[in-house]
Chains A and B, each alone.
Chain A
Amino acid sequence: MWSKKKTVDELLHAWQQHGDIRERIEAIRTIEATPARYAPLPDELHPSLRLALAHRGVEQLYTHQREAFDYAMNKQSFTAVTPTASGKSYCYHLPVLQMILTNKKARALYLFPTKALAQDQMTDVNALIEASGEDVLSYTYDGDTSPSVRQKVRKAGHIVMTNPDMLHSGILPHHTKWVALFENLEYIVLDELHTYKGVFGSHVAHVIRRLQRICAFYGSSPTFICTSATIQNPRELAESLTNTKHALITQSGAPTGKKTFVFYNPPIVHPAFNVRRSAVLEVRDLAKQLYDANIQTIVFAKSRVRVEMLVTYLQQFTKHKLHDETIKGYRGGYLPSERRLIEKGLRDGTIQTVVSTNALELGVDIGQLQACIMTGYPGNIASAWQQAGRAGRRQESALIIYVAQNTALDQYIIENPDFFFGGDPEAARIAPDNMLILMDHLKCAAFELPFRKGDMYGEFYIDELLAYLAEERVLFATSDTWHWMSDRFPAHDISLRSAAQENVVIIDQTETTNYRVIGEMDTYSAMTLLHEEAIYMHQGTQYQVEVLDWNEKKAYVREVNVDYFTDANLAVELKVMSEDETETLGAAHIGYGDVSILAQATMFKKIRFNTHDNIGSGQIHLPPMEMHTTATWLSFEPFERWGEERISTALISVAYVLQSLTPLFVHCDRADISVVPQMKAVHNDLPTLFMYDNYPGGIGLSEKMYTSLPQLLTRARDHVAKCRCEAGCPSCIGAQSIDAQSKLDALLLMKKLLGLFGQV
């Protein structure tokens, strides 16, 4: 193996000499190293903390850490926007420990989006405490905490580290057991703030309002310390989540190493249709080169299925070695113990290549790797930078390779590499005023403490809503108060993470005597990924779903070895229920309001590995899922001389490109917004494009699209016009048609919609 070892720079140099690879590299951008900026340790810093820092060789702080300390000491809530590996944890550890060392009664609550992050930070803060020689107790509190320790955490934990889900269902409803915490709560730390967006963020905003309400009951008013990756609106997000004014820290004082970004476009394999080679296959080849060069690499893929496909491919490199553990997958749905092992393997270098979903974007401590490959654009700039941030050791060059897929958004990014560096990241949106989410948490809040007439809940006036719940017989109204009056435990009925309340549990029945649970999945994804006959992949092993028990939410799978994967279709039907806003744009009517949606998985295809040929199909028999949400729609009068089929084709094309490019405008999970064409919309019989929020009640995404529609259409039209294909391709309008007219029609339709008809 010794002969092949290369540095990142040597490998990059070799690629630039190599004809094929050189051609596929569309752009290279380099960010030079930057030096550190320091500030002195605060004068008031507790001697024990000073000692602990000296122990670690820290004699001064980065400027952003000092700024954070000063805000926190003044009890000013703030948000620090910091890149990966900039020492952000000192932004909260230092002021929190300072407070506890000066007042042993003081308490702090740390919230992390996942359990893994909490465990990580506990190790981190405990090391600091140990070096200080002081007696400060910090604990994680989550589903894994043993009952014997729980008592101690409640009574004596100075720092309690948990996640929003546990706070929601395990702590707030039992707040009387946490009196010591709530009476003395000085700081609430929200790490990875940008992950609290969309549906999840909207829920978390309410969990925090409930937390504040309970603090007020016990007489404390904690200060918020938040950290976030780069997004367009960190202050707005923080203020909306916490219902509190925030100061902002944006300048990091941490040094950065040199980073080289390679924008890589797979070769065109079908020139007529402008179809490029699969990005997954291309990533496989690049990852092999990095593996052979002994460069520790993280490969990001967007879906669980992709991760599993890549792991399968990559493990082929080592199949001749027995028990080789150098290549691993990592994603949600693995058991925690499995994940901890992989994290450790990455830190100590025994794992050389890891393939991950965005689960590893967050601050899970896996050390710094040397290279990062993104299989496609992760959907937003913040994620892209976080993924890129996984590569980069001090004093060493880091390599970040972006491999574009055959999609419009990916091709848009490769055409405009500076979009990546343009400093115009997307906005993270949450909607605490989503009625369904609000009502869910209002029930929880009423369970936790009774409401008095005229009370506010967060920023909301709620008397009418409470009266409604009382009529529903969930609350009981006395002359001046509302009390929870039901034997239900509302927090158990509400999941923060997804529209779907329950997860489907995946059970492996390969060994008849030893059924075991190997993972779980939300119901919405399960419709298309765990239907009967679906191939489900877990750590590179293929399983076929034999029985999906929809009522019990259980999928029974058996290990198989086949040369294909499955891909399912979802049919969607829409009805407009109320039109809140309406406007005319060129030849189009635009509306915004409430819609009802019926989604049903219809059929699936079997697709062969490597060639990606379609080798079979089947029906899916599952009940439809219904949802009411908000949508923006765009209707137009059918054009004369265009037959129905021609309009329909153009509509599908435009829907494809619009759906593809929406992530340029809103920071959301890919599945959070959908674009669906309807030839005759039920409410007006006109050809219509719907863009709807994929969550009951809506979370403000389609509302944002309502105002951005002209820009979105303009960018979409420009992108399609610039595309190098002749008749439409997956990079612009999708690959539904081989008719040369369809690309022209799509362009024509967008021009009409923009009111530009007649001009060329």
Chain B
Amino acid sequence: MHASLRAIAMSLAIIATKGRMDMSYEKKLLQMKQMMKKAPAKVEKPVIEKPSAPSYSKAWEQVGLTRIDNDFGTVFKYEKTYEKAYEHGHYALGAIDDALVQWEAAAFSHPYAATTDETLVFFDTETTGLKGAGTYIFLLGFLTLRPYDVLLTQYVLADPAHEAALLFESKLWQRDTTIVSYNGKSFDWPQLQTRWTLNQHVLPPLKIPRHIDLLHSSRRLWKNDLVRMKLKQVEEEKLGFVRHHDIPGHLAPIIYMDAIKSGEPSALMKVLQHNEWDLLSLVTLYVHSTSMLMEAASASATAYTNVGKWYADLNEHERSYDILSRVTTTYETFETIQTYYYLGLQQKKRGDVEGAIASFVRSGASDDIRIALKSHEEAAKLYEHAKKNTDEALHMTNAALQKLAQDRMLPLRARQAFYERLQKRRTRLLKKNQ
């Protein structure tokens, strides 16, 4: 490299990343103008060559990483086995086997049900950014259930030139697995597909496995219960696991970049630890979610109700009804006002008109204006069509309109929709009453 250019570059190492309105950055760039050369375009042909192993390989091996050389380059691996009796928070890892047996024995179906025939692989990645083709996966972490133990395998990108080696070694083109992740459906997996596409000229095609994303189930189970759905919050509040000396996830990219620039892996090992905890928590989160979906014993009224709602959406109405009834008998009345709305819907489905009306009248008092309004609507429907009681139906409709008039919370569009529906019903009922 040109000597003066190097000098400029050195002095700019920090400034330039701040953005180009920076004066001295511009000034230096303009000075570099003389060094720019141009030529007519020519066709480039990609040549595939195996990159040589990075110079820091020894140092990385010394901290416990295993160096693997395959046809595409070098990749570093970290492996560790856990006994099934190992306790991570409230649960032992082996509890997963019981969970799977429970799913196999269940009389109902559920998207999160897995069986002992499947190979469950808990999966989590660490990346250099948030999106786009310039974001690399530098750590692929897997936790695989085996008959007598649990195997942790982490693959570390040796440097970005060795990407194909990392992807190939993951065996994701080969294995038949069920992937379990946290937010993997919208983040880790698409990111992996992007990396795979970029290496499609050398790699065998990526297999599309069954994928269970526990972020989705957490959202359903703890809606209105947990304020944030970060894995860390779920761990602390539901799984009984607290991390000590964990690195914040957003520092991971910087740590990796520093590790390949300096060759010094000690901070990188902290990222591996972070990833390992994530994977262990996925196992106990799966166990915990299963127990909630099975018996929901230890859950709050809100979470328990969420379980019932979820089964309703899955058309497992019998189970939904059982759970929701149990919520209303187990918890204090003030905790279950909303539950009555969902229970009412199930009762209506079963043809229990009286029960449904009683439930809707209870949930009509909810603080949640949508639930309150919908409960009134449902009750009005039942009075009008099933009981042919126009007066009561009108009474319910008017009460709902009154609630709507007093409300200050609903967004404009929702308010309008409710208003139109209720007015239509009211007009019709008044006509019937004449």
Verify B13–A471 contact, CB threshold 8 A.
yes
Q: Are A479 and B161 in contact (CB under 8 A)?
A: yes
Partner of A436, one of B26, B37, B193: B26
Cβ-based interface call for B52 (8 A): yes
Q: Which of B6, B38, B129, B161: most chain A CB closer than 10 A?
A: B161
Does any Cβ of A come within 8 Å of B111's Cβ? no
Give chain A interface residues in 610-644, CB to chain B under 8 Å: 626-628
- Whether A450 and B26, one on each chain, are in contact in the complex, defined by CB atoms closer than 8 angstroms, is no
Pick the contact of A472: B16, B41, B161 (CB < 8 A): B16
Min distance, Cβ B44 to any Cβ of chain A, angstroms: 6
Chain B nearest CB from A700 CB (Å) reads 13
Question: With contacts A471-B9, A478-B160 known, is A173 near B20, CB below 8 A?
Answer: no
Q: What is the size, in residues, of chain B's interface with A at 8 Å between Cβ atoms?
A: 58
Q: CB-defined interface of A164-198 with B at 8 Å, one 1/0 digit per residue?
A: 00000000011111010000000000000000000
Q: Chain A 490-517 against B: per-residue CB contact (8 Å), 1 yes, 0 no?
A: 1101000000010000000000000000
For A415-451 the 0/1 string (1 means CB < 8 A from B) is 0000000000000000001011011100000111110
Whole-angstrom distance between the Cβ of A391 and the nearest chain B Cβ: 42
Contacts of A490 in B (CB 8 A): 134
* CB proximity of B247 to chain A, nearest CB, Å: 15
Whether A488 is near chain B, meaning CB under 8 Å from some CB there, is yes
- Is the beta-carbon distance between B38 and A460 smaller than 8 angstroms? yes
- With a CB–CB cut-off of 8 A, which chain A residues contact B26? 436, 627-628, 696-697
- Given A436-B26, A448-B133, A577-B30, A468–B9 Cβ distance below 8 Å? yes
Known contacts A479-B161, A489-B130, A626-B23; A464 and B2 CB within 8 A of each other: yes
**B2 near A459 (CB under 8 angstroms)?**
no
Contact between A485 and B161, CB atoms less than 8 A apart: no
Query: A483-B160, A489-B131 are known contacts. Are A468 and B8 too (CB-CB below 8 A)?
Result: yes
The contact of A173 among B29, B33, B133, B198, by CB within 8 Å, is B133
- Which B residues are in CB contact (< 8 Å) with A446? 134
Residues in B whose Cβ lies below 8 Å from that of A627: 26
Question: Digit string of B1-45 for contact with A (CB within 8 Å is 1, else 0)?
Answer: 110011011101100110111010011011111011111111110
Which residues of chain A in 219-263 are interfacial with respect to chain B, using CB atoms and an 8 Å cutoff?
243-244
A438 to B261, CA, bound (A): 26
Contact B10 A471 (CB under 8 A): yes
In the assembled complex, B51 has its CB within 8 A of some CB on chain A: yes
Q: Does B115 contact A (CB under 8 A)?
A: no
- B49 at interface (Cβ–Cβ under 8 A)? yes
A105 CB to nearest chain B CB (Å)? 17
Tell me the bound Cα distance from A455 to B45 in angstroms.
Answer: 10
Chain A binder among B220-228, B252-260, B309-317, B379-387: B252-260
Please tell me if A645 contacts chain B, counting CB pairs below 8 Å: no
Chain B residues, Cβ within 8 Å of A20: none
The verdict on A96 contacting chain B, using a C-beta distance below 8 Å, is no
List, in ascending order, chain B residues with CB within 8 A of A39's CB.
none
Decide: B41 and A455 in contact? CB cutoff 8 A.
Answer: no
Which residues of the partner chain A approach B253 to less than 8 Å between Cβ atoms?
A: 486-487
Inter-subunit contact B12/A461 (CB<8 Å): no
Chain A residues whose C-beta falls within 8 Å of the C-beta of B132 in the assembled complex: 173-174, 447-448, 489, 491
Q: Does A704 contact B (CB under 8 A)?
A: no
Given contacts A435-B32, A456-B39, A485-B128, contact A476 B198 (CB under 8 A): no
A473 at the binding interface (Cβ < 8 Å): yes
Q: In the complex, what distance in Å separates the CA atom of A626 from the CA atom of B20?
A: 11
B257:A433 contact, CB within 8 angstroms: no
Q: When the two chains form their complex, are residues A628 and B23 in contact, meaning their CB atoms are under 8 A apart?
A: yes
Interchain CB contact (< 8 A) of A464 among B5, B40, B44, B159: B5
Contact A216 B23 (CB under 8 A): no
A458 within 8 A of B: yes
Q: Is B194 an interface residue (CB 8 A)?
A: yes
Give min CB distance, B106 to chain A, whole Å. Answer: 33
A155 to B197, CA, bound (A): 14
Interfacial chain A residues near B43, Cβ < 8 Å = 216
Answer whether residue B136 sits at the interface, using C-beta atoms and an 8 A cutoff. yes
Does A36 touch B at the CB level, under 8 Å? no
B41 CB contact (under 8 Å) in A243, A433, A483:
A243
Indicate if the CB atoms of A697 and B133 lie closer than 8 Å.
Answer: no
Question: Which B residues touch A455, using CB under 8 A?
Answer: 44
Q: A680 CA to B46 CA in the complex, in Å?
A: 56
Q: Which residues of A contact B198 (CB under 8 A)?
A: 176, 449
B25 CB, nearest partner CB in chain A, Å:
9
Q: Which of A435, A468, A489 contacts B5 (CB 8 A)?
A: A468
Decide if A465 is an interface residue (CB 8 Å cutoff): yes
Give Cα distance in the complex from A483 to B138, angstroms.
Answer: 13
Q: A467 interface residue, CB < 8 Å from B? A: yes
Provide the residues of chain B in CB contact with A217, threshold 8 Å: 46
Q: Do A501 and B13 have beta carbons less than 8 Å apart?
A: no
- Residues in A with CB closer than 8 Å to B39 are 456, 459-461
**Contact (Cβ within 8 A) B36 A447:** no
Contact pick for B129, options A216, A465, A489, CB 8 Å: A489
Which single residue of chain B is at the shortest CB-CB distance from A172? B133
Nearest CB in chain A: distance from B40 CB, A:
6
Asked if A480 is at the interface of the complex by the 8 Å CB criterion, the answer is: yes
> In chain A, what residue has the closest Cβ to B260?
A476
Closest to B194 in A: A176
- Give the residue of A243, A447, A697 whose beta carbon is less than 8 angstroms from that of B134: A447
A114 vs B2: C-alpha distance when bound (angstroms):
42
Tell me the smallest distance from the CB of B279 to a CB of chain A, in Å: 22
Min distance, Cβ A305 to any Cβ of chain B, angstroms: 27
**Considering residues A179, A447, A468, which has the most beta carbons from chain B within 10 angstroms of its beta carbon?**
A468
Closest CB pairs A-B (n = 9)? A447-B134, A483-B160, A484-B134, A471-B9, A478-B161, A176-B197, A173-B132, A176-B194, A487-B253
In the assembled complex, 27 residue pairs joining A and B whose CB atoms fall closer than 8 Å, in A order, are A176-B194, A177-B194, A435-B29, A436-B20, A436-B26, A446-B134, A447-B132, A447-B133, A458-B41, A459-B40, A461-B37, A467-B9, A468-B5, A472-B9, A472-B16, A472-B17, A473-B257, A481-B161, A483-B159, A485-B257, A486-B17, A486-B253, A486-B257, A489-B130, A493-B19, A578-B30, A594-B30
Q: A460-B39, A471-B6, A628-B27 are in contact. List 12 more A-B contacts (CB 8 A).
A: A173-B131, A176-B194, A179-B197, A216-B44, A217-B46, A435-B33, A448-B134, A456-B42, A458-B41, A461-B38, A478-B160, A493-B19
Q: Which residues of B contact A (CB under 8 A)?
A: 1-2, 5-6, 8-10, 12-13, 16-17, 19-21, 23, 26-27, 29-33, 35-44, 46, 49, 51-52, 54, 128-136, 159-161, 193-194, 197-198, 253-254, 257, 260-261
